Amino acid sequence: MSILRAKPVFFATALLFFAGCQTEPGGIQNAKIAMAQRIAAEPAGDYYIGRRYFKPDFKFWGYVRRPNQPWSTAQLVMLNEKQKLAPDRAALKFGEDNNYEYKLYGNFSGDKVYEPASNRVYPEFILKDYEVISTNPPPIFKTQMSGRADAAQTRYMIEKPEPQF
């Protein structure tokens, strides 16, 4: 077989191979692309992006990251509310804002705060103000993407945002 005839066969075989390597449904891949575009479009500034992560038995607030950074860089934080109450606490609707996305104004104190239910320490974020970005943002956790999250199974599980977000 000449090299000229082998190229189309090789190309077709490689195409079939790589098509078979796709491990995610197109909808999830499209969501990842949309999330990356959304993060890249965030304006620079002196603020953070926060995702409320409410678990009834835990006292942490949620994940906080810098604008234009992926969710995999976010830190799970304890919120210092001496200057401004957390949105759910101010409304006396504890945890009702689970999974909401916020623009947070404030800073990390550099201190670590012990959280007894998880027996871990988390960075302290001093909240000065906030704005709601979305009450229904795109998923950042594996259980959100799979749609198979069972509250009883995940009650004590502390998830981390997926690396691709």
Separation between Cα atoms, residue 5 and residue 10, nearest integer Å: 9
pLDDT tens digits for 66-77? 999 999 999 999
User: What values do phi and psi take at 133, rounded to 5?
Assistant: -90, -45
Mean pLDDT of the chain: 82
pLDDT above 90 (res 85): yes
Q: Which residues contact 118 (CB under 8 A, 6 or more apart)?
A: 58, 60, 158
Residues present in the chain in total: 165
- The pLDDT score that the predictor gives to residue 152 is 60
Counting residues of the chain whose pLDDT is more than 90, the rounded percentage is: 58
- The pLDDT score that the predictor gives to residue 163 is 72
Separation between Cα atoms, residue 26 and residue 53, nearest integer Å: 27
Specify the pairing of strand 48-52 against strand 62-65. antiparallel
**Domain 44-165 top-level CATH class:** mainly beta
pTM: 0.77
Work out the average pLDDT over 53-62.
Answer: 96
Work out the average pLDDT over 136-148.
Answer: 79
Q: Tokens 């759910």 belong to which residue?
A: 88
Positive or negative: CA dihedral 60, 61, 66, 72:
positive
Contact 104, 130 (CB under 8 A): yes
Please, which pLDDT band fits residue 34 given cuts at 50, 70 and 90?
confident
Q: Which residues contact 119 (CB under 8 A, 6 or more apart)?
A: none
Domain residue ranges in the chain: 44-165
Please, which pLDDT band fits residue 146 given cuts at 50, 70 and 90?
low
pLDDT above 70 (res 14): no
Separation between Cα atoms, residue 19 and residue 2, nearest integer Å: 26
Dihedral through CA 145, CA 143, CA 65, CA 35, nearest 10? Answer: 0
